[in-house]
Structure 1
Amino acid sequence: MDVQHLSAPSRASSGVPRATARSGSGVVHANTRHTSRYTVVGNHLTQHRELTLVAIGLAAHIQSLPAGARIGIKCLADRFPESEARIAAALRELEAHGYLERTRERLPNGRIVTRTVSYNQPEPSRPARAPMPERRRPAPRPAPADVHPVPAEAAPASVPEPVVPPAPAPEAPPAPDPAPQPRRVPPPLPQPRTKDPARHRVAATLLADLRRDDPRVLLAERDVHRLAPAVAAWLERGATPDAVRATLAANLPEQPIHLAALLAHRLTALMPPPLPPAPKMVRPDPFQTCEDCDRAFRAPEPGRCRDCRPGLPEAA
């Protein structure tokens, strides 16, 4: 009879811890060591008792982003299926518990921006609310060596002292959401005072021919019809087609994105004033030849010069 090898396994291992596999319930972790593209997140965040799942997931996502990434409410709403209201509430939760800090600053050009700082540990100045401790029976103190233990029958029943939970730290009030900036409405395009079909055709042709001088100035047909009245207003005020063409095509960017809006702004902001009325030319009287002395003089009709005219009767 052959020798039995007791060290050989009876069946293949499943890779799952034996204690967990026997229990039949609970989560089983099958972990793989990460060597690149990973983020370390503390259990104080992932197992937070007072943060919602949306806030915990949002905090983990923000900590995984590189420095300088945009985390505005609209950007996050475009990235995730949650609404802007839920994302704003989650940001306020993270800010109240010290994982996020948002401050508004004014740039030298007058623009107001929001500076956001993400903390993987809550700041001491903004502590997170501690979870409520569970009521547990205090462990019995070990008896000294020289004191004999009292039998259980003779020992009085000990009543555990109640555990008073610590007072929660005051939460900082959430920062108010920035007020939405009013949308700027562009001013209306100039309109000619009188309708002239011929002038309108010249204006539409001028806009359509701009691409001949510069291929970047390629307008859609609807933009040509929309901007043609403004060009006609320029022509009505005495601007030549060459002057209008030079104003619209001067100093354009390398790759114009909103070309029609740029031309509409130029037609509105650089609108020339109307020409003043031309001064009335007063022509002098034509030259006439005196009938008596043949002297030349200016007069509206032929006749005599001033010296040959008969004197007027003196007033009495």
Structure 2
Amino acid sequence: MGTQQITAPPCAPSPVTGGATPSSGVIHANVRHAAGFTVIGNHLAQHRGLSLTAIGLAAHIQSLPAGAKIGIKHLAERFPESETRIAAALRELEAHGYLHRSRARLPDGRIVTRTVSYNQPGTEPAAAAAAPQPRTRPSTPAAPLPPPPPREPAPEPEPTQAPQPPAPQTAPAPVLVPAPTARKAPPPPIPQPQSPTPELHRFAAALLADLRRHTPQLTLSDNDIHTLTPGVASWLERDAHPDTIRHALTTDLPVPLKHPAKLLRHRITTLLPPPLPGAEDLAPARPGVIAIPLQNCDGCNRAFRSRHPGRCRDCRTEVVSQGSAGPGRAA
């Protein structure tokens, strides 16, 4: 009973070398390559701005030998991606400096695309070793030349002043805008009733004092009610219903309401309705009817319609008939 029983085989050792096995994520099982491999930098394999298609295409291009065909149609035949995706991936690699494509004209006149692949953008490959200098045959020693004549001492250059460092630029002084001196236009005067009566003023004052019962924000003082009473009286004089006045003064109030008396003064002044039209104003006009005034005849004193005063039709006919008889018939 005291002997420990092993019910499960021990875990197999991890094939991963070079550190402890991570608890999550990818686990690398690396074997060193001896031949047939390509060195690719992490700046390409882990590039944040390239798509997976572009990264894979760059790795494929870097693994090809010099002179291999990497045209869009050739790559589309080699891989399942379409020509559109391959063209987009090539543009990505060209934008990030992994490829450089240029047009070149061959001696026979053909124009081809020349593509250069960079395994590390931003750096140029090492320059080729300098060519050895051509060997020259040793020549016989020549006679020594006479020493050159002494040259006149060159004039000493004038001392030049060291360039002064540029003066530090200071920020321009802020432009001070003067405070506005123009006075604001005074508010328009509050309307006044044409026929003020004590009953009209008393009803208008009661309507203003009753506003706080419907809207607590419109609690007015006695002085405010005394000032606004003529304006509400003008509304009542123009046959405005009290409910209409109350709705116009209490609807859509700003939040917060700081000056209730100023708001009521503005609404009483600007929203004042016009007087109600009379019966004559509401009568429809009869188009095409022209009223001709009545005139008194100068001959018979009878009334007749005409635009100008004078004689009626009968009197004008009688005058014409008398004039047509002539003096010979009368004799």
Q: TM-score, normalised by structure 2?
A: 0.33
Larger of the two Rg values belongs to structure = 2
Higher relative helix content: 2
By relative contact order (CA 8 Å, sep 6+), the higher-ranking structure is: 1
